[in-house]
Amino acid sequence: MSKNTKTVIILLVAAVLIAAVPLFALRNAEFGGSDDAGSVMVENIQGEYTPWFTPVLETALGGELPGEVESLIFCVQTGIGVGVIAFFMGRFVERKKWMKATGQEGDVPASGGERACTGSGDTDDPHR
C-alpha cells in the first residue's frame, strides 16, 4: 500500500469519526441550526426578536417555503459553488501541465496578469 493510499484511508476514517462521535457521545442532545441559536440569543439579550424583513421567495409565494424546496435550493447553490471551484482548480492544473510541456514552468508572468515581454530590443511600446 502506497503512502498516499494510507493517508487517504486515515483521513476518511477521521472524517467518519468526526461525524459519528458527537451522535453517540451526546445521545439525547438537540442539534439546532445557527439561525435558531442566534434568534434565542438575541431574545435573551433584548427581549423580543422581530426579523427586519421576510425572505424574497416567502413573500412571492405568500407563505413559508416547504423544507424540501429549501433543501433543494441549498443543494443547487452548493452544486454551483463546487462547480465554480472545480472549474478554476482544473484550469490551474491544466495551466501547470501546459507550462511544463512547453518549458515555461519557471517563468513568472508580469503584474496584472500580462505576459512578460521577452524580446531582445528595448522599446517603450506597450503593444509589442
CA atoms within 13 A on the CB side of 128: 11
Domain boundaries, the chain: 66-104
8-30 pLDDT, tens digit each: 999 999 999 998 888 788 777 77
- Mean pLDDT to the nearest integer, 102-126: 57
76-96 pLDDT, tens digit each: 999 999 999 999 999 999 999
pTM for the model stands at 0.45
Most confident of 4-8, 49-53, 124-128: 4-8
Burial class (CB in 10 A: 0-12, 13-18, 19+), 98: exposed
Question: What is the chain's mean pLDDT, rounded?
Answer: 80
CB 99 within 8 A of CB 107: yes
